[in-house]
Amino acid sequence: MSGAADRGRRFCQALDLVDSPALIEEYLHHHQRIWPEIAAHLREHGILDMEIYRLGTRLFMIVDVSTEFDAARFAAAGLSNPHVQRWEALMWQYQVATPWTPKGEKWVEMEQIFSLQKQ
């Protein structure tokens, strides 16, 4: 794991799940151990840590990236990676955009409204 000096930015994003207990259970199962190709893809592009939390059907993801992280390059690499494309297609069976997500997008960045460190 990289040190604090390598840490660039933190993204907090939201997405919803299909409101089906069976599908939610499957989604949780897939995230107990993601495909190694997906973990490698994330790490190769400067993602230092990623956590996903759930409350009902709402997902909240925290992503810490390195100073070298390039969102456009990461997105382009995902579009050309067949493992990422298969994973995203599989996950979209369980996911649904939030009411505030722009059309055609999945995870949407949330606005930080409070930081204790900034007080």
Domains of the chain, by residue range, sit at 7-107
Q: What is the pLDDT of residues 37-78, one digit of tens each?
A: 999 999 999 999 999 999 999 999 999 999 999 999 999 999
Nearest to 60 by CA among 110, 119, 13, 114: 13
Here the tokens at position 54 are 């759930």
Query: Tell me, what's the pLDDT at 109?
Result: 95
Q: How far apart are CA 32 and CA 107, in angstroms?
A: 20
Model confidence pLDDT, tens digit, residues 10-40:
999 999 999 999 999 999 999 999 999 999 9
Fold (CATH) for 7-107: Alpha-Beta Plaits (3.30.70)
The pLDDT of residue 1:
44
Q: How far apart are CA 61 and CA 58, in angstroms?
A: 10
Measured between alpha carbons, how far is 15 from 17 in angstroms, rounded to an integer? 7
Interval 87-116: pLDDT, tens: 999 999 999 999 999 998 999 999 999 999
pTM, to two decimals? 0.89
